Structure 1
Amino acid sequence: MAQPLVEGFPGKSSSHGAFGWSTVWLLDDGVRRALIDVGPPSYIPLIHLGLERLGLTADDITDVLLTHMHWDHVANFTMFPNAVTWVGERELAWAAEQPAGTPFIPDLHVRELLQRDRVERIMPGREVLPGIHALDAGGHTPHHLAFFSDRIDTPAVFAGDSVKNIYELTTLRVDSTLDERQSIATIDRLRSLLTDTSGVLLPGHDVALALSDGEVRRMRPQRAGIGYFADGVIGEQDRSIG
Structure 2
Amino acid sequence: MYRVDVLVQGYPGKSVCHGGLGWSTIAMLRGEGRVILIDVGAFGVRKELEKQLAANGVSPDDVTDVVLTHAHYDHSVNYTLFPAATVWIGRVELEWARDVPPGFNPLPELYVQDMVRSPRVRLIEENSTFLPGLTAIAAPGHTPGCMLFRLESSPPVLFTGDAAKNRAELLSLRTDMTMDAEASRASLETVWRQWREAPDMIVVPGHDLSLRLNAEGRPEYIGERKAAIAAWFDEDLSVTTSIDLTKGME
User: Which residue of structure 1 lines up, in the alignment, with residue 24 of structure 2?
Assistant: 22
Q: Is the 8 A contact 1:165 1:206 kept in 2?
A: yes
- 1:76 aligned counterpart, secondary structure: helix
Give the Cα–Cα distance (whole angstroms) in 2 for the partners of residues 225 and 231 of structure 1: 18
The alignment yields a C-alpha RMSD, in angstroms, of 1.2
Residue identity opposite 1:234 in structure 2: T
Unaligned residue ranges in structure 2 (runs of 5+): none
Unaligned residue ranges in structure 1 (runs of 5+): none
Aligned ranges for residues 189-228 of structure 1 at < 5 Å? 189-197=190-198, 198-212=200-214, 213-228=216-231
Task: Please list the CA deviations of residues 43-96 of structure 1 after superposition, one character each: whole Å capped at 9, or x if unmatched.
Answer: 111111111111111111110000101000001001111110001111011111
Q: Is the 8 A contact 2:40 2:76 kept in 1?
A: yes
Give the Cα–Cα distance (whole angstroms) in 1 for the partners of residues 217 and 58 of structure 2: 38
Residue 187 (structure 1) aligned with residue 193 (structure 2): no
Residue identity opposite 1:160 in structure 2: G
Residue identity opposite 1:73 in structure 2: H
Task: Please list the CA deviations of residues 152-208 of structure 1 after superposition, one character each: whole Å capped at 9, or x if unmatched.
Answer: 332011000000011111111210011111111111111111121221110000110
More strand, by proportion: 1
Equivalent position to 1:143, from 142, 145, 169: 145
Give the Cα–Cα distance (whole angstroms) in 2 for the partners of residues 174 and 211 of structure 1: 20
Deviation, 1:221, is 2.3
Deviation, 1:30, is 4.8
Q: TM-score normalised to the size of structure 1?
A: 0.96
Count of residue pairs the alignment pairs up = 241
| Paired-residue identity, % | 37
Give the Cα–Cα distance (whole angstroms) in 2 for the partners of residues 191 and 136 of structure 1: 14
Residue 64 (structure 1) aligned with residue 70 (structure 2): no
Q: Is the 8 A contact 1:195 1:211 kept in 2?
A: no
Residue identity opposite 1:119 in structure 2: V
- 1:146 aligned counterpart, secondary structure: strand
Give the Cα–Cα distance (whole angstroms) in 1 for the partners of residues 170 and 33 of structure 2: 32
- 1:75 aligned counterpart, secondary structure: helix
